[in-house]
């Protein structure tokens, strides 16, 4: 089953996490997971620059260590980098000490303040051990990483689900379909009266 918006349960499990920014204004927040990637990152940065939009990149620690130039390009573009773990572990299936060590290892190359758990899964113990991090989840998942879903369906989800304060999760990977549709989505959102901002993670 594809869940385009986290269910009620997610908010109960992670009450301290940010899913949607409280605002009455038509503001959207773009986030890109799993990068950096030599194919998709430069393309995304170009498109974002064209539209003068800043985004939050939840980078994979391993990829960030491999591609420091891409990390620099993201930062130079005025974007923010968050921590998405080093090895993309599933918190529900990973021993807590191993999990925390993985996040700490990734923090050297990404962030020691903002974290998005891979798969959105974190145990209560892991959550407690990571309490110094601001946890950022999402309000809209477009399944751009899922080639069987297809770019047209992802575009339809994005157009239909956006609402004030939505945090949108997309993927900065070569296999993601997002680079083919993001331009059209940004134009649609802007023409619908939305603007894009960076999440203020320190409030
Ligand atoms: Zn991920």
- How is the chain split into domains, by residue range? 8-196
Query: Ligand 1 mean position to 26 CA, how many Å?
Result: 27
- What is the distance in A from the centroid of ligand 1 to the CA of 120? 8
- Distance from Cα 17 to the centre of ligand 1, integer Å: 16
What is the percent of the chain where pLDDT is above 90?
A: 91
Q: How far is the CA of 118 from the centre of ligand 1 (A)?
A: 4
pLDDT of residue 136 exceeding 80: yes
Query: In angstroms, rounded to a whole number, what is the distance separating the alpha carbons of residues 15 and 141?
Result: 19
What pTM, to 2 d.p., does this model score?
0.96
Query: How many Å lie between the centroid of ligand 1 and the Cα of residue 198?
Result: 19
Q: Is 119 left (phi over 0), alpha (psi -120 to 50) or beta?
A: left
Residues ≥6 apart with Cβ < 8 Å to 168: 28, 29, 30, 31, 138, 139, 140, 142, 158, 162
- Ligand 1 midpoint to CA 76 (Å): 23
User: Ligand 1 mean position to 84 CA, how many Å?
Assistant: 7
Of the listed ranges 2-16, 62-76, 156-170, 180-194, the one predicted with least confidence: 2-16
At 161-191, the pLDDT tens digits run: 999 999 999 999 999 999 999 999 999 999 9
Distance from the alpha carbon of residue 172 to the mean position of ligand 1, in angstroms? 9
Quick one: pLDDT band at residue 11, thresholds 50, 70, 90?
confident
Tell me the CATH class for 8-196.
Answer: alpha beta
Is the pLDDT at 52 greater than 90? The verdict is yes
- What is the Å distance from ligand 1's center to 32 Cα? 9
- Ligand 1 centre and the CA of 88: distance in Å? 6
């Amino acid at each position: 089953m594809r869940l385009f918006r986290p269910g009620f349960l997610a908010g109960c499990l992670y009450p301290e996490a940010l899913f949607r920014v409280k605002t009455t204004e038509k503001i959207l927040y773009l986030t890109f997971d799993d990068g950096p990637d030599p194919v998709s990152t430069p393309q995304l940065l170009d498109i974002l620059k064209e539209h003068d939009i800043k985004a939050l990149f939840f980078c994979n620690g391993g990829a960030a260590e491999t591609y420091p130039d891409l990390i620099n390009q993201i930062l130079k573009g005025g974007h923010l980098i968050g921590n998405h773990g080093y090895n993309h572990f599933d918190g529900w299936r990973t021993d807590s000490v191993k999990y925390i060590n993985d996040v700490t290892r990734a923090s050297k190359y990404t962030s020691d303040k903002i974290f998005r758990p891979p798969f959105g899964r974190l145990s209560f113990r892991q959550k407690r051990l990571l309490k110094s991090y601001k946890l950022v989840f999402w309000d809209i998942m477009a399944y751009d990483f899922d080639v069987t879903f297809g770019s047209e369906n992802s575009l339809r989800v994005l157009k239909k689900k956006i609402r004030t304060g939505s945090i949108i999760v997309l993927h900065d990977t070569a296999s993601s379909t997002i680079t083919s549709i993001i331009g059209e989505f940004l134009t649609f959102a802007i023409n619908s009266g939305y603007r894009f901002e960076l999440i203020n993670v320190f409030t």
